[in-house]
Amino acid sequence: MKRLLLVLGFVVVVFFVWKHMQKNSDNGLVVILNGPSSVGKSSIIKLFQEKNEKLWLGIGIDSFFVGVLSSKFYLEDKPEHHAVMRGIASVNSDGNKVFDLCIGEVGQKVIKGMNRAIGAYARAGNNVIVDYINYDSSWIEDLKAALSGVKVVFIGVKATLETIEAREKIRATSPQGHARSHYDSVHQGIVYDLVLDTENKTASQAAQELMEFIRSKA
C-alpha cells in the first residue's frame, strides 16, 4: 500500500510538471533591447518586424510609460508632478549638457505595470520585442520577476557617446544631454545574450543580425 501511494505521488508530480511545461510552451518569446536613448533601438525594432514573417509586437518605454501619461507630466515642471517624473537639466564639470529623467514613487508603479504588461502579452502567446532603457538598476530585476516562466532574450544595443549625441541632436525628440545622463549606467549588471553595435552597423544590418540570432535559438 505504501509503495502504491509513493507511485501515485510520483505520477501526480510528473503530471503537474508536464502541465507546467505545456503551459510555458504556449508563451511567446520576449526580446529586450536595452540601451541608451538615441542608440537606434526603435529603428532596429521596426526593421526587425518588417523582415520577419511572424507577428512580433513592438512595444517600449515610450509607448508603455510616456505614452500612457497625460502630457502635463512631462511638459509642465510642477512639484505635484514630481511623484510621477521630473526632468533635471544641468551642465557637468566638462561643460556638457546633462538631462536626468527622475522617476518618482508613482512613476515607479507605472514601470512595474509596464514590466507585467510585457509578460501578459507573452503569456497570451505573442512574440514581443521591447525598446527598454534601464534608468534604474531595480527595473531589470523586477522585469525578470515579471517574466518568470517566459523565455527572454536580453540584447544590448551600444554605440559611442559621441555618435549617440550626434543622433540625439539630429532627431531632436529628446532633450540634449538625455543620453549622457544614463550612458554609463544603462548596461550595468546585465548579462546579454547578444550585443548589437550600431556604431558600425546600420539599423537594417543590426535587425538582420538579431533575426538570425533568434532563429538560431529556435
User: What is the C-alpha separation between 10 and 132, in angstroms, rounded?
Assistant: 43
* Residue 8 within any structural domain of the chain: no
For residue range 129-152, what is the model confidence (pLDDT) as tens digits? 999 999 999 999 999 999 999 999
Which strand (E) or helix (H) includes residue 58?
strand 56-60
What is the reported pTM? 0.86
pLDDT more than 90, % of the chain: 81
Q: Is residue 190 part of a domain?
A: yes
What pLDDT is attached to residue 172?
A: 84
3-state SS, residue 89: strand
From the list 192, 170, 128, 154, the residue with the least C-alpha distance to 40 is 170
Question: In angstroms, how far is the first alpha carbon of the chain from the final one?
Answer: 45
pLDDT at 111 over 50: yes
CATH of the domain at 187: 3.40.50.300
Rounded Cα distance between 186 and 132, Å, is 10
The one-letter code for the residue type at 56 is W
- pLDDT of 32: 99
Distance between CA 12 and CA 54 in Å, rounded?
A: 37
Q: Is residue 148 included in any domain, yes or no?
A: yes
Cell numbers for 21: 511545461
User: Is 23 within the bounds of a domain?
Assistant: no
Count of other CB atoms within 10 angstroms of residue 23: 11
- Spatial separation of the C-alpha atoms in residues 135 and 186, rounded to whole Å: 6
Q: Is residue 129 part of a domain?
A: yes
What is the extent of the structural domain holding 113?
28-66+106-217
Phi, psi of 88 (to 5 degrees): -125, 115
Q: How many domains does the chain have?
A: 1
Give residue-wise pLDDT tens across range 7-49. Answer: 555 544 444 444 444 455 699 999 999 999 999 999 999 999 9
Q: Indicate if the alpha-carbon torsion angle 198, 209, 43, 117 is positive or negative.
A: negative
Do the domain assignments include residue 90? no
Instruction: Please tell me the predicted confidence (pLDDT) of residue 65.
Output: 92
pLDDT exceeds 50 at position 61: yes
Could you tell me if residue 89 is inside a domain?
no
In a domain, 22, yes or no: no
